[in-house]
Amino acid sequence: DTGVSQDPRHKITKRGQNVTFRCDPISEHNRLYWYRQTLGQGPEFLTYFQNEAQLEKSRLLSDRFSAERPKGSFSTLEIQRTEQGDSAMYLCASSPNPGGEQYFGPGTRLTVT
């Protein structure tokens, strides 16, 4: 198993464009989490999935943010109409069960110009 992977690693986009990030968790991990991290801060929880069910999405930063995990494997995070304030590192993590140890991917660094 190669661990959690994320794609792309870096994304530069212009304000107003839509972006989509992909996360591939460790196989057979039921839980998948998305976080955002800005400079000097710890990761901030956005949403999570148990298999294909999205169990918490109230902490997504606005209605421009959405996430899916259609078959309970990989997940995507989409940001519509990007703003400069969306520039951050977006991290994905997976764990084998609720409350289990989380393993993080390398992150996608988003820059909105």
Partner 1 sequence: GIQVEQSPPDLILQEGANSTLRCNFSDSVNNLQWFHQNPWGQLINLFYIPSGTKQNGRLSATTVATERYSLLYISSSQTTDSGVYFCAVGSGGSYIPTFGRGTSLIVHP
Are 56 and 35 in contact, with CB atoms under 8 Å apart? no
Identify which of 83, 44, 51 has the alpha carbon closest to the alpha carbon of residue 69.
Answer: 51
56 binds partner 1 (CB under 8 A): yes
55 binds partner 1 (CB under 8 A): yes
Closer CB to partner 1, 25 or 107, in the complex: 107
Position among 7, 44, 52, 68 found at the interface with partner 1 (CB under 8 A): 44
68 binds partner 1 (CB under 8 A): no
Residue 37, C-beta contacts closer than 8 angstroms, at least 6 positions apart: 43, 44, 88, 89, 90, 91, 107
Are 108 and 8 in contact, with CB atoms under 8 Å apart? yes
The C-alpha angle with vertex 56 and arms to 37 and 102, in degrees rounded to 5, equals 55
25 binds partner 1 (CB under 8 A): no
39 binds partner 1 (CB under 8 A): no
Kindly state the smallest distance separating residue 42's Cβ from partner 1, in Å. 3
User: Site residues (CB under 8 A) for partner 1?
Assistant: 33, 37, 40-45, 48, 55-56, 89, 91, 93, 98-104, 106-107, 109
